Structure formats: structure tokens, C-alpha cells
Chains A and B, each alone.
Chain A
Amino acid sequence: MKIKVCGLKYPDNIEAVAALKPDYMGFICYDRTPRYIDTLSADALATIPASIHKTGVFVNETAEVISQLIDQYGFDTIQLHGDENAEFAAAFKGRVTVIKAFGVDNDFDFDKLNAYASYVDYFLFDTKTSIYGGSGKTFNWRILDKYTLNIPFFLSGGISLDNIGELKNITHPQFYAVDLNSQFEDEPGLKNIPKLEKAFDIIKNRTLQMKYGVNEHGYYGDFGGAYIPEMLYPNVEELRQQYLNIINDPDFKAEFNDLLKNYVGRPSPLYHAKRYSEKYGANIFFKREDLNHTGSHKINNAIGQILLAKRLGKKRIIAETGAGQHGVATATVCALMGIECVVYMGEIDMARQAPNVSRMKMLGATVRPASSGSKTLKDATNEALRDWIANPVDTHYIIGSVVGPYPYPDMVARFQSIISEETKKQLVEHTGKELPEYVLACVGGGSNAMGMFYHFLDDEQVKLVAVEAAGKGVDSGHSAATTFLGNEGVLHGSRTILMQTPDGQVVEPYSISAGLDYPGIGPQHAHLYKINRAQYVSVTDDEAMKAGLLCSQMEGIIPAIESSHALAQLEKMKFNPTDNVVICLSGRGDKDLDTFIKYFGY
């Protein structure tokens, strides 16, 4: 969802609004409104970042004057808010972005838009008044259902903090942007920054909520939900009711951000990998989650959830772990907070990842072997769920990935979204713009990938690439390439895509990387896959190991084998020299040294 703030006229206020980074800022060039820019100096607009569209708003103005003001103020967008006909609009098409506004009431005839369809970029629907907007009143938004053209629209007219929540009920596929004006002012033309900040928060949250995010029942399109036995319902329901309140609370945010900064060591650097850039013919950046305390992105979520558990009054933490990274992160935050910690781990994984078992024990956690089924991650998850069933009141279950029943996928994604939040800012420092051409991350359950994608989901020009583990090859019978080999079903509490037999039994996956060795993907990934918002590819053990070695020797960074999968994907892509490419280096390779040594014979 894009945001337009309209009706600006004071230089200081313009600067303050620009700092909020709306997508459009509107300047009214119509002298019969109190928001008329009048003699505003063009210099006041010169400092507005290029990423914000400067929009001139006109009412029945002559083409000559519009043309002159476009040049004078540097407008890249014009909004025709009067009775301009299609021909008039057509004259500007191509030179600037053209928005044609209409006042809408219950009798509005949407057929009259047809004539404009080829000549404008957007429509804007405002409340119908005799004075061309600015009424501060809303119109009946249901009428929008009658709009059937495929040109995106702005919604305007009386949007305020009181009704902004109702925007979520507008599910029109062409709903593109929200226009904020009179309800966010101290006086006409002077915007109230705190009010706008609140609105931005709500709209941006809702955006992710709407198109790619979760709905109130926990679904992302066809995927998600909470397929849990009644025994778990109270636990999950308590979380569902509380998680947003808690994590949006300023005290929580302050404590979370403080720990991320001073304990985890964030922000993690965005490193411009020069030798890689040369080799692959693009600007390659590594998001260095490997530099976090405990060596991977897993700690971001563990910190978030332990703070949440504390606020829920929980006295005991349980977790599942595959490779041991999430177990170590959980044991770490439990030590930090002085809370009892029990980690479930498959018997086979305990043998494969012995050093991490020792680390967890040293951190004071109890490691309980999961000895049922295949004795790996999925069985550890089953055991943790059983523990939670038996201990519904005092225990919080810290799930380590964007999997499990709602609200876990959304909650974990939010805690990991710090990865893309930082990346956007860091990209501006490196490249002058916040959007790269490509974002790559590896996917097991998908938590680092979801954190890496999160703030780019709405920027549809950014190509998102999720790399699954093909193991010994997707056709080998030893693979974890879920989207390739799986189909829709229910796993660990959510409807998603998973690897299974035709009879619906969960198949044991395989990857040389224990962190990618999971038979499903989070429900949001399943949704992004199904609607093609992200591309899901796979990389074999051999390709990943080679990529891990290459990164070690070309950049002096030994990556986790998980992250090496994302690096290996570079070999398969073609870039333009100006492309900016971000790869999430989700973890460091220390834990994989044994595997690397055995594989390469060092």
C-alpha cells in the first residue's frame, strides 16, 4: 500500500513529512483552497528525496500553467482534480505520471472512467463535494466494488486515525494508495507529524497484512491457520490475543532494540563483497547475520520471544532444534533471563551436532532426545508440542522458524524482519536507493528468508529468490526441496506445502545442511510460492559445499552450509552490471567445520 500526503505548503513541515518517507507528496496548485501553495519556493521541494513522487494537484487549470509549474517545482506526477477530460490528461501522459481524480457518491457512474483508461496512470477517488475535495468526509467505500477497470487507484477523502482501521475491509485488487490530508493537520496545510506517524504505522502493517501477510484467522491466501488439537488451543489463543499488543508496546520495543544492539551486536553489517561482485558481474552485498551473537539470525527471534514469554508470565521455556542453532539461541536467551530451558532434539541430530548439544548444556539448558519416528527435527517438534500440551500454563514454546500454528509464522517473521529493515537503510548508504534488484536467502522452514524478504514484499520490482536444499538432487530420493517435491497439506499446525507420501505421511527430508533439513516450509512462503511473488529454486549439497569454499577463499568468510545454498544460486543467475543483489548470510560456518573438513579433506 502506497501513501500520499497531500496539501503541503510550509517548508519546515514539508521537510518533516518527507522524513516519514511517504510515496507521494501532494502540492495543491489551486488558489481557492486554504492549502494552496501560493508563493512557495521551489527550493522547499528540492530537498525531497527522489524516491518520493512530487505531485502537483490542479483543478481545471490550463495546460500551459500546469506545464510551467511542472518545470518550476520539478513535479514528476500531476493530479487532475477538476473536470479535465481524457484528451487533456492524455497530453501529459508519458511526460509525468498522471492521476485523474473523481468525486464519488452513491450514484457515481464508474462507466465514465472508461474514456480515461488509456490516458492516465492512476485514478483517485475522493468524496464528492461541490468544492473539489477537502471536505474531510469519507464516502461509502463499498461503492468501490463497482469499479472494474484494471487501473490502480488512490483512496482519498476524510481518512483519519478513527477510520483508518476500516481500510482493511477494502479488498479491491486495484486499491493502490491512501491519500492523507485534512484529518492529519493542526491547521490547513500544516501536517501533524505524530498523527501521520501513527497512520503510516497502521497502513504499513496493514499492507503486509493484506496482500502478502496474514489475515485475522491466521491465513496467507490458502495457507496457514492453526491446525492444533484442543489441548493446545488455550496456549495458542493466549499468544494470538497478546502478541501484537505486546510487541507493539513501546517498552517492549525499547527492550528488544536495546538487546539487539548491545547483546546481539546489531545492526549486522551489509557488506559489499567486491571480489564476488567482480566475479558475478553485479553489486553483490552480504547481509552479515553470521556476525550476530551465537552465530546466526536465530537469536533475533529468540530474543523477541523470551521478552514476550516474560510479559506473559511464563516460567519455563521449551524449544525444538535441528542443527542446534535455534536450541543454542534459545538456551542463550534463557540464560540471559534466568529462565528454565528444555530443548528437544532428535537423537540422530544430537549425534550429528554434538558440539551444539554441549553448548546448550553449558548454557544451562536440558537437552531431551526425541527418539520417536525419524529421530530428527520434525520429531523434536512433535515432542516439544507434547510437552506444551502437558504444561499449558507456565510454559512458552519458542518455535525457531516461521512455521507452526498462527500466530507463530507472523510473530517470528516480525522478529526477523529487522534483517530487511536494516538492509533497506544500509542500501541507501551504499547505493543511494533502498531497493535492490534481487534478494536471495536459503529456506528450510524459512525464517531468515522471511526476515530478509519482509520489507521488500510490497516493492514488487524487487525479485525475491528463495533457495531450498536439493540434497543429493531433487530426483535422488534424498532431498529437502519442498516446493519441488511437496504438495499442500497440514504440518505442525499450519496448512502449507510439505513433502509427503500419497497417503499423507510426512516424508523424512535430507540435506547435508541440518538447518534446511525440514519437510515443509512456512505458510507465508507457501503463499509467496503459489502466487509467484518469490521464486523458489534449489541447490544441491555439492553446489552448496563448493559455494561455501569459494566464499571462504574469495571473501575470507566461512559461511554456514545453509547460507552457502543461497551463495550457490549466484552461479545460476544472469545479472546486469548495475544490478544490486543482496544475499542473506544467515549464519557462520564454525558449526559446519567437521562437515566441510570431511567433504573437502582439509
Chain B
Amino acid sequence: MNSEPLTISYTMNRLNQLFAAKKENLLSIYYTAGYPALNTTVDIAEALEKAGADFLEVGFPYSDPVADGPTIQHSSEQALINGMTLDHLFEELTELRKRVTIPILLMGYFNPIVQYGIERFCKKAAELGVDGVIVPDLPMYEYEALYSTHFINNNLSNIFLVTPQTSPDRIRKIDELSNSFIYLLSSSSITGGSLQLTNSIEDYYKRIKAMELKNPTIIGFGISDNATFKKACEYANGAIVGSKFVKLLAEDDYMKKIPAFIQNIRP
């Protein structure tokens, strides 16, 4: 027997089920709620599911998105101008689980969550069928020491980021605290760059793979086409496309172009 003891203390959510069933070439798409217009969140999610995406990250906008490059910054600014708020997003998501079955994560910065109320946010998100959250500026110490109970009590997976500079000890600790997947940043950069596979980056992927973490890994930041997607999937269970998809949303008739977009990334 070589199976690891199961340390997850709560029931499997959609993310866990997905990763249990599918081990490779997972494709996730990020987009900013409220961009290009309000009341499109569930429509886009539905279209992405139909086109074949495995799970989704729905960004809620913030005025000061320090981890994001120009594309996602711009989408956040526009979403805020359009009137997107967490309250509004949760309203849009009331029909989410009537129309969409794939796992959904909410992704955004911590301050809007603090204002909404951390416990209230977790409860509401779980109630609407959200499976996890990615909060880039909520680091490990703060999460574990101050806030984790709210996430765990509501069966929400909190996703941690790992960069090429993250130390092995810290990665182990992240692995312990994670219960669905770990988000590997392809480089230490903001969103919207391109995946440049230097030797050191490849070493980093190999290093992570050799650690045999208990959680699946998904690579994000810089994945924009089939080539980068395939490369990422050599080392991880899947990849996330963000800025490239947000750019598509700026085009006319973007809803019609979604199937082809997904096909291009993962034929």
C-alpha cells in the first residue's frame, strides 16, 4: 500500500471530484465578472462549460490589483465602472448552479472580502455553489492563523500560489494547507506575460513534480495558446488561461467565439 492518509477533514466538493476523475490536461479559464458588461457572468460560464473548459475562475474586481498586468487591470476598472460589486456578483450567481455544473472559483483581492465580512462572504459563496477562492494577497500565515476556519466551515477550498522563488519548506506547508489544487505561477510576474520556458523555469517545474505533492498542480500566468498549454501540462495537471481570454471579451460577438477559443488552446 502506498496511498497517503487522507487529511482532508471535509466532504469532497466539485473541485475534488474533478481532480479525482481527471488527472491531466485540465483547462481552466479566468475572466473578470462585470466585464465587458454586467449580468454576463453566468452566460459566459455556461458557454465556457459547453466549449469544454474544466473549471472556471471568476474574478471580482478591485481598484488596486497589484498582482495583475494591464489587461486584467483594465477589465477590473471597466467592471467597476459598470457597477460590479460583490453584492451584485452574488446576485448574478443565484442562477449559477441551475445552468453550470463545472467547479467555480472566485478570485479577487482581500479588501473587498474584508468589507463584505469574511465569514459572510464564505457562507454566501458556498450557498451559491462556489467551490473555492483564490485571494492572491491573503498569504499563508494570515490565512492559517486568522481566517481559515471560515473557509473550512463552508467547505470552500482556498487556493495558494507558488512561484519559482517559493522555498521547498513553504511548498510543503502550502501542500498541507491545501485541499483541492495548488496554483503554480509560471514565473515571478504579474498576469498577462508570456510563458518563456527558460531552463530555470523548466527546472522549477521538474523540482515541483519531483516533490510528489498530495495536491494536484495547475500552472497559470502566461498560458495563451496550445503550445504554452501543452508545455504546462507536461509538468502539471492542467493550466489556467486568463489575460488572453479577457482580451477576447473585448471583441465583438465574443460569445460566439468562445468554442473556437477553447478549441485553439486544447484541440
| A382-B138 contact in complex given A390-B189, A489-B115, A504-B116, C-beta closer than 8 Å | no
**Are B166 and A233 within 8 A (Cβ)?**
yes
User: How far apart are A246's CB and chain B's nearest CB, in angstroms?
Assistant: 21
| A500-B115 contact in complex given A230-B160, A385-B66, A386-B190, C-beta closer than 8 Å | yes
Interface centre among A233, A487, A498, A506 (most CB of B within 10 A): A233
**Are B115 and A227 within 8 A (Cβ)?**
no
**Are B64 and A378 within 8 A (Cβ)?**
yes
B67 on the interface (CB 8 Å rule)? yes
Contact with A along B155-174 (1 / 0, CB 8 A): 00000111101110010000
| A505-B80 contact in complex given A490-B110, A490-B111, C-beta closer than 8 Å | yes
| Bound CA span A490–B64, Å | 11
Q: Which residues of A contact B70 (CB under 8 A)?
A: 372
Q: Which residues of A contact B141 (CB under 8 A)?
A: 217, 225-226
User: How far apart are A520's CB and chain B's nearest CB, in angstroms?
Assistant: 11
Q: Which of A225, A230, A491, A505 contacts B163 (CB 8 A)?
A: A230
**Are A228 and B64 within 8 A (Cβ)?**
no
Contact with B along A478-505 (1 / 0, CB 8 A): 0000000001111111000010101111
**Are B115 and A230 within 8 A (Cβ)?**
no
| Bound CA span A390–B142, Å | 24
Q: Which of A228, A234, A382, A489 contacts B114 (CB 8 A)?
A: A489
Identify the closest chain B residue to A392 (Cβ). B188
| A230-B114 contact in complex given A386-B190, A389-B67, C-beta closer than 8 Å | no
Q: Which of A233, A390, A487 contacts B139 (CB 8 A)?
A: A233
Q: Which residues of A contact B87 (CB under 8 A)?
A: 503
| A389-B190 contact in complex given A230-B185, A506-B111, C-beta closer than 8 Å | yes
Q: How many residues of A contact B (CB 8 A)?
A: 34
Interface centre among A389, A489, A506 (most CB of B within 10 A): A389
**Are A233 and B165 within 8 A (Cβ)?**
yes
Q: Which of B64, B139, B161 contacts A226 (CB 8 A)?
A: B139
A231 on the interface (CB 8 Å rule)? yes
| Bound CA span A468–B74, Å | 32
Q: Which residues of A contact B67 (CB under 8 A)?
A: 229, 231, 386, 389
**Are B111 and A500 within 8 A (Cβ)?**
yes
Identify the closest chain B residue to A389 (Cβ). B190
Identify the closest chain B residue to A373 (Cβ). B63
Q: Which residues of B contact A502 (CB under 8 A)?
A: 115
**Are A490 and B114 within 8 A (Cβ)?**
yes
B136 on the interface (CB 8 Å rule)? yes
Q: Which residues of A contact B63 (CB under 8 A)?
A: 373, 505-506
Q: Which residues of B contact A385 (CB under 8 A)?
A: 66
Q: Which residues of B contact A392 (CB under 8 A)?
A: 165, 188
User: How far apart are A373's CB and chain B's nearest CB, in angstroms?
Assistant: 6
**Are A231 and B161 within 8 A (Cβ)?**
yes
Q: Which of B66, B137, B166, B185 contacts A234 (CB 8 A)?
A: B166
B86 on the interface (CB 8 Å rule)? yes
| A382-B66 contact in complex given A225-B142, A230-B160, A490-B111, C-beta closer than 8 Å | yes
| Bound CA span A327–B14, Å | 49
B261 on the interface (CB 8 Å rule)? no
| Bound CA span A382–B188, Å | 16
| Bound CA span A505–B116, Å | 11
**Are B114 and A373 within 8 A (Cβ)?**
no
Q: Which residues of B contact A228 (CB under 8 A)?
A: 137, 139
| A389-B112 contact in complex given A227-B138, A378-B64, A503-B85, C-beta closer than 8 Å | no
**Are A231 and B139 within 8 A (Cβ)?**
no
B91-133 contacts to A, CB under 8 A, are: 109-116
B77 on the interface (CB 8 Å rule)? yes
User: How far apart are B110's CB and chain A's nearest CB, in angstroms?
Assistant: 5
**Are B64 and A489 within 8 A (Cβ)?**
no
**Are B115 and A504 within 8 A (Cβ)?**
yes
User: How far apart are B69's CB and chain A's nearest CB, in angstroms?
Assistant: 8
User: How far apart are B228's CB and chain A's nearest CB, in angstroms?
Assistant: 19
A366-419 contacts to B, CB under 8 A, are: 372-373, 378-379, 382, 385-386, 389-390, 392
**Are A231 and B185 within 8 A (Cβ)?**
yes
Q: Which residues of A contact B112 (CB under 8 A)?
A: 503-505
Q: Which residues of A contact B163 (CB under 8 A)?
A: 230-231, 233-234
**Are B137 and A504 within 8 A (Cβ)?**
no
User: How far apart are B159's CB and chain A's nearest CB, in angstroms?
Assistant: 11
Identify the closest chain B residue to A488 (Cβ). B114
B19 on the interface (CB 8 Å rule)? no
Identify the closest chain B residue to A385 (Cβ). B66
| A231-B188 contact in complex given A386-B66, A505-B80, C-beta closer than 8 Å | yes
| Bound CA span A504–B65, Å | 12
User: How far apart are B72's CB and chain A's nearest CB, in angstroms?
Assistant: 11
User: How far apart are A60's CB and chain B's nearest CB, in angstroms?
Assistant: 50
Interface centre among B80, B114, B141 (most CB of A within 10 A): B114
Q: Which residues of A contact B69 (CB under 8 A)?
A: 386
**Are A504 and B111 within 8 A (Cβ)?**
yes
User: How far apart are B200's CB and chain A's nearest CB, in angstroms?
Assistant: 11
**Are A490 and B137 within 8 A (Cβ)?**
yes
Q: Which residues of A contact B166 (CB under 8 A)?
A: 230, 233-234
| Bound CA span A572–B160, Å | 50
**Are B188 and A389 within 8 A (Cβ)?**
yes
Q: Which residues of B contact A234 (CB under 8 A)?
A: 163, 165-167
B1 on the interface (CB 8 Å rule)? no
Identify the closest chain A residue to B136 (Cβ). A229
Return 14 A-B CB contacts under 8 Å, by A number.
A217-B145, A227-B142, A228-B139, A229-B137, A229-B161, A230-B185, A231-B161, A233-B163, A234-B165, A372-B73, A373-B77, A389-B189, A505-B80, A506-B64
Would you list the 9 A-B pairs with minimal beta carbon distance, nearest first? A504-B115, A504-B112, A230-B161, A503-B85, A234-B165, A229-B136, A505-B63, A229-B67, A385-B66
Q: Knowing that A230-B162, A505-B62, A505-B63 are A-B contacts, what are 19 other residue pairs whose CB atoms are under 8 Å apart, sorted by A's residue number? A: A225-B141, A227-B137, A227-B142, A231-B67, A231-B185, A234-B163, A234-B167, A372-B70, A378-B64, A385-B66, A389-B67, A389-B188, A390-B188, A392-B188, A492-B64, A493-B137, A503-B85, A503-B115, A504-B112
Binding site for B on A (CB under 8 A): 217, 225-231, 233-234, 372-373, 378-379, 382, 385-386, 389-390, 392, 487-493, 498, 500, 502-506
Binding site for A on B (CB under 8 A): 62-67, 69-70, 73, 77, 80, 85-87, 109-116, 136-139, 141-142, 145, 160-163, 165-167, 170, 185, 188-190
